[in-house]
Amino acid sequence: MKEKIDYLKELPVINLLKPDELRKIEEKFHVENIAKSKFVFEEGNSCIWVYFVCAGRVKLLAHSSAGKDFILRIVSSNDLISDNNLIFRRDPECVYSAKALESSVVAKITTNDFTALMNNKPELYKSYAEILDSHLLEAYQSLKNMAFEKVERRIARHLIQFAKNTGEKTDSGIKLGVKLSRQEIANLTGTTIETAIRVMSKFKKLKIITEKEGHIIIAERHRLVNIAEEF
């Protein structure tokens, strides 16, 4: 495992600090190992932390009254998980859950300490605002897709996004760096598991994708892009 300061210097917002500034605030951060399928935090629980992913991947979940989960976003290494709206609204409860998709390393700092840090260095607010803006744009596009787009296009777009963020080029195509179950694909795209199974089976039959050891491999990216951008 890397030293704490090596993780911190790669995190957004924090990476703008000079080495001596980083050393001064290092003790304010807590770095934790989160096992696969374990929660970083849970919806409804008391929360006073700002969270970052240092390594691994974490999915953000909303829970329905019927007991179903909806995946809001998947957070990869060196990204902000959430401040749970604490910085500007001071809500004491987590508004959604965060769960490790794989063994992950998470850094957290109290909201008070994070706010004090940005108050001392106002230029950090710009970086922080840019991150929130990108997350809001991603959420808007996802909601727009679910409201207006056909399910095949929605799934294709999510696969392309995962390929962009986590993909690894192989001889067989682009292997997604995260394993996605049919249920998780359904949750991400706002459809039923039966529909997700049907669409993914169709993509496999058309040889657009393959699967190996639980990983989806995009064999024909240009065909998937055509589906995603079809009018």
Residue 91 pLDDT class (50, 70, 90 cuts): low
The amino acid at 172: S
Residue 146 pLDDT class (50, 70, 90 cuts): confident
Q: What are phi and psi of 161, to 5 degrees?
A: -65, -40
What mean pLDDT is predicted for residues 103-114? 94
* Rounded to 5°, angle at Cα 173 from 171 and 178: 115
Q: Give the span between the Cα atoms of 68 and 71, in whole angstroms.
A: 10
Q: pLDDT digit string (tens) for 37-51?
A: 999 999 888 888 999
Residues 6+ apart with CB under 8 A from 122: none
Per-residue pLDDT for 69 more than 80? no
pLDDT score at 143 = 78
- Please give the distance of CA 115 from its chain centroid, rounded to a whole number: 23
Altogether, the residues listed in the chain come to a count of 231
Specify the pTM. Answer: 0.79
